[in-house]
Amino acid sequence: MNVITNTNMRKLAIQELHDLPDTAMLEILDFVRFLKHQNRSLTTEERFDRLWLTAQRIASARDITDEDIEAEVVSVRRSE
């Protein structure tokens, strides 16, 4: 299974940028600035909601069920 971490995602994005022509860089820069502004303007609750949805999509893609998560939590709590 190919696990995509934040570090891998950044490397992949940078690699893709290198393949673009120089003429696309201004558009890329504008988009990056838009994303940064959009993220700053989110409330803590909105950021949490986005992260929660992302976690649910990742779990679904990896066939992780609610029961799997509950079993993991119980296991960790027992070992504390």
pTM value? 0.44
Q: What is the pLDDT of residue 1?
A: 46
Q: How far apart are CA 21 and CA 67, in angstroms?
A: 47
Average pLDDT value for the chain: 87
pLDDT exceeds cutoff 80 at 4: no
For the stretch 24-31, contacts whose Cβ atoms lie closer than 8 Å and that sit 24 or more positions apart, written own/partner, are: none
DSSP assignment letter at 22: G
Q: What is the mean pLDDT of residues 4-26?
A: 87
Whether the Cβ atoms of residue 1 and residue 62 lie closer than 8 Å to each other = yes
Question: How many other β-carbons are positioned within 10 Å of the β-carbon of residue 59?
Answer: 14
